[in-house]
Structure 1
Amino acid sequence: MSEHIGHECGIAAIRLLKPLDYYIHKYGTALYAVNKLYLLMEKQRNRGQDGAGAAALKLGMHPGDAYFARVRSTEADPSTRVYEQMRAPFDEFEREDSGGERTVEELKRHAPFAAEILMGHLRYATRGKGGPEYCHPFLRENNWQTRNLAVAGNFNLTNNDELFRLLTDLGQHPPSHTDTEMMLEKIGHFLDEANERLFRRYRRQNLSGPRISGRIAAELDMGDVLRAALRDFDGGYVITGLVGHGELFVARDPQGIRPVFYYRDEEALVVASERPAIQTAFSARLDEVAELEPGHAMLVDRSGTVRIERVAEPAERAPCSFERIYFSRGTDADIYHERKKLGARLCDPILGAIGGDFEHTVFSYIPNTAETAFLGLSDEMRRRYLQRLRDRLSNGEAHTEDRLDAVFSTPPRFEKIMTKDAKLRTFIASGKERKGMVALAYDTTYGVVRRGEDTLVVLDDSIVRGTTLRESILRILDRIGPKKILVVSSAPQIRYPDCYGIDMSKLRDFVAFEAAVALLHERGMAERLDEVYAACRESEARPRTEAVNHVKRIYEPFTAEDISGRIAQMLRPEDMNAELQIIYQTIEDLHQACPSHRGDWYFTGHYPTPGGNRVANRAFMHYVEKRDERAY
């Protein structure tokens, strides 16, 4: 992507299925789980660099011994800082000279992360502030093990205000409105209720306190807790949690908006947001890593027994298509092929735009995440070229050597045109000077495009704001002298805000929206803006479940080509010499390339939850009212 937008968060969890001394004897280190957790986090650092955190839960600890631990960091390279904090007590333990062999029990008392269950998190902050205290995991502490709760997740909820009211109606006093606080307290509330029911039952049977605690730990049903807690959530989520008596849980939203995968062998159960992270960390085959079904939870009790249960009402599946286009690492086997298909599906509109003229066209991409789609485009273009050769050679004409040379002389040209010098410092400049420095952060390959003759086709994986294109990339490409620049997006036009984890929440940031508004004004239809605003205002008084996305009406009068043409006018610098055209992927071709991930609300406005419709309407009201804030 030629411009940055924020990622969803990433999660990782490990449940060791054998005693700690097993790993010490087999692998020669007590850091087996810590090292694996760090590797899982590092392989998912694309999902968030704002902060990182980890929590550990130890089994079999005696009263008076700590069994929960947590570290968090927002320093540079936060996952490494977290790893260093987890590891340091192990190194200190090894250095101590005790005069004899140290026991695993001593290690567990000394090292907070000498534990059987570990949970990690990588944060991209779509809400909240930036200090380590705002990083996951979050703790809800209690002297009763079965009420001690730690949660971390990849989620955004659209109905925080509603959840806040539900908690205050229960008599709680939440310290904030953040979705993390709502998630923690809702699960915590029903965890408390489940504890209280069991406590009262065994108190009536005159059991002693320690025996009551043991019975609660044995009978507490986290599936029931999650079914009650998640009932009111509207949004996309994967939530991981630890309960102090030794239970790990992972729950996924009913639409499957956010991804989560798991793997189990004889030694460990592993959970992560992305499949390749698990494959790399545990040398697992593709078919050994499974995806947790939407609306289900994985529950691992203190004995290590795993069960998967449905914890939310079934809903139409809507896994996030942006995961496939851009966010998830392209090393996933399915995502790699889907991104190649996204590139291949663009072949027809590109050929139409260049008139089938391979001789005067250079194909390239804007670094770096569009590379896989570009491979798919180049494969398909070569296939089309060879088909053209076969057609010309099979037309029955006699072929002289000169004619054969002419037939074979114009294959498609695929080149690396643009690079980015990440080390060029632009922060020392300001204002217009900084804008000029940003432009110089990119560079081009000279001598490849024939000045005044060639069309330059540049593939990007998405165009959100278009700011980087307008202020730097198009000017840079224009310097090498193409006759025409054709910018192609492997994603469709981004028209609507996201509210489920991606930091795309303000309509004014979308060049497609600005283009539609400009067209309404130019075609004498500006009154539609007032009508949509009034409808959005009226919808605020209705229940969330009745919300309708009124922002769709902004786009109804126009074709996708109308909006693409207006975007090209808006992004074209005044001093640009080359002709400019912009082509976007169609929704139909997106679905052909990514058939199992049809969550496309940012392109179509078809939100999978009613809260999404409300967010879209609020985002439009904020746009009209010139309020620079998120709508959720």
Structure 2
Amino acid sequence: MSDSIKHECGVAFIRLLKPLSYYQQKYGTSLYGLNKLYLLMEKQHNRGQDGAGVATIKLDIAPGKRYISRHRSMAPSAVSDIFEYIQKKFAEIQKEQPEKMQDAEWLKENVSFTGEVLLGHLRYGTHGKNSIESCHPFLRQNNWQTRNLVIAGNFNMTNVDELLQQLYDLGQHPKEKADTVTVLEKIGHFLDTENQGLFDQYKREGIDDNTEISRMIAEDLDIAKILRKSASKWDGGYTIAGICGHGDAFVMRDPAGIRPAFYYQNDEIVVAASERPALMTAFNIPLEAVKEIKPGHALIVKKNGRITEEMFSEPKEKKSCSFERIYFSRGSDADIYQERKQLGRLLCPQILKAANYDIKNTVFSFIPNTAEVAFYGMVEGVHDYIKTYQREKLLKRADKISDEELDEVLSISPRVEKIAIKDVKLRTFITQDADRGEMVAHVYDTTYGLINRGTDTLVALDDSIVRGTTLKQSILKIMDRLGPKKIVVVSSAPQIRYPDCYGIDMSRMGEFVAFEAAISLLRESGREDIIVDAYQKCKESAKLPKEQVENYVKAIYAPFTDQEISDRIAKIITPKDTNAEVQVIYQTLDNLHKACPGHLGDWYFSGDFPTPGGNKIANRAFVNWMEGNNQRAYM
């Protein structure tokens, strides 16, 4: 993606089902769980580079001994920093008491992070909220083991104000106005309620031994019931993992399946993660061994090792995030790889038309690095077109074609080149705006000598175009320098028109070049009344319950075809003094759904939000833009 956006946190969960001594004997280390957690987190580092955190819980530890360990980091390489911190504890033991490294029980009793339940998190921060306190896992502490709670997740709630009010009504006084706090405290409240209910029940039954009652609560705690009550009013996209202090654990997924969650289990372990390839690589397992947590369900692992997948909220129409497939998730997933190739392939008719079907004088390239797989699909599509062209040409001319003509037809092949090169080491550190603009222009470089000046069309595939800033300030400038007759910028995603409010940090309307294009077309055509009317409706809708709110921002785009908006985007992103003609092509919604049939969540393109809170957020984002308020449209 040429325009970098922040997005999608990642979770990694491991529950060891055997004693640590089992892993010491079989794998030669009591740190089997920690090693696997490190792998799961590193294999998902694409999901968060603003911070990371790890928490572990030891099972059946005697009172008075620490059983919860947690460490978080905001270092540039946060995952490595965390595990270096943990590793130092064992390095000291290896140096001074090497025999103890073979003693699993001693390690568990005496060294932190040697627990059987492990939780890791990778974080992308949003809008300046980067601090160690914002890094997951979050911890809610209590002297009762079964009332302790650790959570980490990939989530965003659209109705934080409503959820906070519910906490106030319960008599709580949250320390911060954030969805992480509301989720933690909401689950924590019902965890407390369930504990107290069981305690009172056992007392009524005549059990006076509080130690025995604590043991019984740990055994009988109904995690699914707690999650059902906690999530009853949640509106958002989420995958949330949690651990209770005594060892019960869960990984829950929102009812629309917006955020991804996968798991694997055998007789030794239960593991879950945000991405399937991470599980496959870390545990050397085949694709079919990994399962997807169903929407509205929670994977629950009791302290005794019993594993269930239980519904906590009625599943809705599945609207899994299509941006996961286009950009966020790693392309090493077999399905995602094929879907991205198909996205490129389906763009070929539009691309060939833009290039006037002149294969000989067209150079096909991509904007590194995430568009590469879609580019392979696009090139395959061009090859398919060439084969069809050759077949028709030869069939029509089979009896009279000359050797020269035959050679010319058979020699047709796409010119595939790497034109844009991202200089990842370059940093725009100069503070003055003018100087920074000059530096941004050099974030990308190019390969010279590949374009026939004044003759060639240059096709450049990107996976999505959000703001178009980097295209305008850097990429198009360096491409025009090569002297092509025409530059065709292609997005394998449709036009991004609406904010996301379920985890991706795209919350301000003014940052979308498609929105800028629609507004400029409205103003140019004297239809500013549409803008004012949409503003008034969005403003009035703020007073309504989220269930009654429509997405009134759709009216901004309604008067125009996709092509009209694409053409205006081309004008907006074309730098002054550009010699080449610039055309912009976007993926269609229909083709997006053909390529990613299992991931129909397309609200950032279509405005069709999967939860009622999404419409409210879209309207609020538009109101913020109209009023010059640059803040986020959600918490």
Q: CA deviation at 1:461?
A: 0.3
Greater mean deviation of Cα atoms: 316-325 or 431-440: 431-440
**Is structure 2 residue 390 aligned with structure 1 residue 397?**
no
Greater mean deviation of Cα atoms: 323-332 or 132-141: 132-141
Q: CA deviation at 1:102?
A: 6.8
Distance 1:465 1:98 in 2: 56
| CA-to-aligned-CA distance 1:15-57 (integer Å, 9 cap, x gap) | 1111101111222222211111011000101001000001001
Distance 1:8 1:267 in 2: 29
Distance 1:424 1:152 in 2: 33
Distance 1:128 1:193 in 2: 35
Per the alignment, residue 231 of structure 1 pairs with: 232
Look up the SS of the partner of 1:394 in the other structure. Answer: helix
Distance 2:97 2:469 in 1: 60
The residue identity in structure 2 corresponding to 1:471 is: Q
Per the alignment, residue 18 of structure 1 pairs with: 18
Per the alignment, residue 263 of structure 2 pairs with: 262
Distance 2:383 2:102 in 1: 65
Q: CA deviation at 1:420?
A: 1.4
Greater mean deviation of Cα atoms: 99-108 or 305-314: 99-108
**Is structure 2 residue 518 aligned with structure 1 residue 508?**
no
Where in structure 2 are the equivalents of 1:170-189 lying within 5 Å?
A: 170-189=170-189
Where in structure 2 are the equivalents of 1:563-602 lying within 5 Å?
A: 563-602=565-604
Is the CA contact 2:190–2:226 (under 8 Å) kept in the aligned structure 1? yes
Per the alignment, residue 40 of structure 1 pairs with: 40
Where in structure 2 are the equivalents of 1:184-333 lying within 5 Å?
A: 184-204=184-204, 205-333=206-334
Where in structure 2 are the equivalents of 1:124-203 lying within 5 Å?
A: 124-126=124-126, 129-203=129-203
Look up the SS of the partner of 1:136 in the other structure. Answer: coil
Distance 1:193 1:214 in 2: 17
Distance 2:506 2:616 in 1: 15
| CA-to-aligned-CA distance 1:197-238 (integer Å, 9 cap, x gap) | 101111221321101101111111000000000111000000
The residue identity in structure 2 corresponding to 1:263 is: Y
Greater mean deviation of Cα atoms: 389-398 or 341-350: 389-398
Distance 2:385 2:99 in 1: 75
Distance 1:423 1:308 in 2: 45
Per the alignment, residue 5 of structure 1 pairs with: 5
Structure-2 change in CA distance of 1:359 and 1:98 (3 Å): closer
Distance 2:100 2:492 in 1: 63
Is the CA contact 1:51–1:72 (under 8 Å) kept in the aligned structure 2? yes
Is the CA contact 2:154–2:503 (under 8 Å) kept in the aligned structure 1? yes
Distance 2:521 2:540 in 1: 25
**Is structure 2 residue 350 aligned with structure 1 residue 349?**
yes
Greater mean deviation of Cα atoms: 110-119 or 368-377: 110-119
The residue identity in structure 1 corresponding to 2:235 is: D
Per the alignment, residue 84 of structure 2 pairs with: 84
Identify unmatched segments of 5+ residues in structure 1: none
| CA-to-aligned-CA distance 1:48-74 (integer Å, 9 cap, x gap) | 100000100101101111111100000
What TM-score do you get using the length of structure 1 for normalisation? 0.98
Q: CA deviation at 1:104?
A: 2.8
Is the CA contact 1:454–1:482 (under 8 Å) kept in the aligned structure 2? yes
Structure-2 change in CA distance of 1:455 and 1:197 (3 Å): same
| CA-to-aligned-CA distance 1:386-431 (integer Å, 9 cap, x gap) | 1110111111432221111221233221111111121234314632
Is the CA contact 1:260–1:271 (under 8 Å) kept in the aligned structure 2? yes
Q: CA deviation at 1:80?
A: 0.6
Aligned residues: 632
Distance 2:87 2:127 in 1: 30
Is the CA contact 1:34–1:87 (under 8 Å) kept in the aligned structure 2? no
Structure-2 change in CA distance of 1:98 and 1:393 (3 Å): closer
Look up the SS of the partner of 1:185 in the other structure. Answer: helix
CA RMSD of the aligned region, Å?
1.3
Structure-2 change in CA distance of 1:189 and 1:30 (3 Å): same
| CA-to-aligned-CA distance 1:583-613 (integer Å, 9 cap, x gap) | 0000000000000000000000000000000
Q: Which one of 521, 535, 538 corresponds to residue 536 of structure 1?
A: 538
Distance 1:99 1:496 in 2: 60
Look up the SS of the partner of 1:150 in the other structure. Answer: strand
Distance 2:193 2:361 in 1: 71
Structure-2 change in CA distance of 1:99 and 1:457 (3 Å): closer
Distance 2:92 2:68 in 1: 20
Per the alignment, residue 384 of structure 2 pairs with: 383
Look up the SS of the partner of 1:263 in the other structure. Answer: strand
The residue identity in structure 2 corresponding to 1:227 is: R
The residue identity in structure 1 corresponding to 2:145 is: Q
Look up the SS of the partner of 1:443 in the other structure. Answer: strand
What TM-score do you get using the length of structure 2 for normalisation? 0.98
Runs of 4+ that moved beyond 6 A: 98-102
Look up the SS of the partner of 1:482 in the other structure. Answer: coil
Is the CA contact 1:128–1:134 (under 8 Å) kept in the aligned structure 2? no
Is the CA contact 1:93–1:110 (under 8 Å) kept in the aligned structure 2? no
Q: CA deviation at 1:439?
A: 1.6
Is the CA contact 2:551–2:618 (under 8 Å) kept in the aligned structure 1? yes
Is the CA contact 2:94–2:101 (under 8 Å) kept in the aligned structure 1? no
Is the CA contact 2:100–2:106 (under 8 Å) kept in the aligned structure 1? no
Distance 2:256 2:102 in 1: 49
Is the CA contact 1:153–1:240 (under 8 Å) kept in the aligned structure 2? yes
Q: CA deviation at 1:84?
A: 1.4
The residue identity in structure 2 corresponding to 1:177 is: K
Per the alignment, residue 480 of structure 1 pairs with: 482
Distance 2:315 2:597 in 1: 20
Distance 2:84 2:358 in 1: 57
Per the alignment, residue 459 of structure 1 pairs with: 461
Distance 1:423 1:68 in 2: 39
| CA-to-aligned-CA distance 1:129-152 (integer Å, 9 cap, x gap) | 222122100011001111000000
Q: CA deviation at 1:100?
A: 7.9
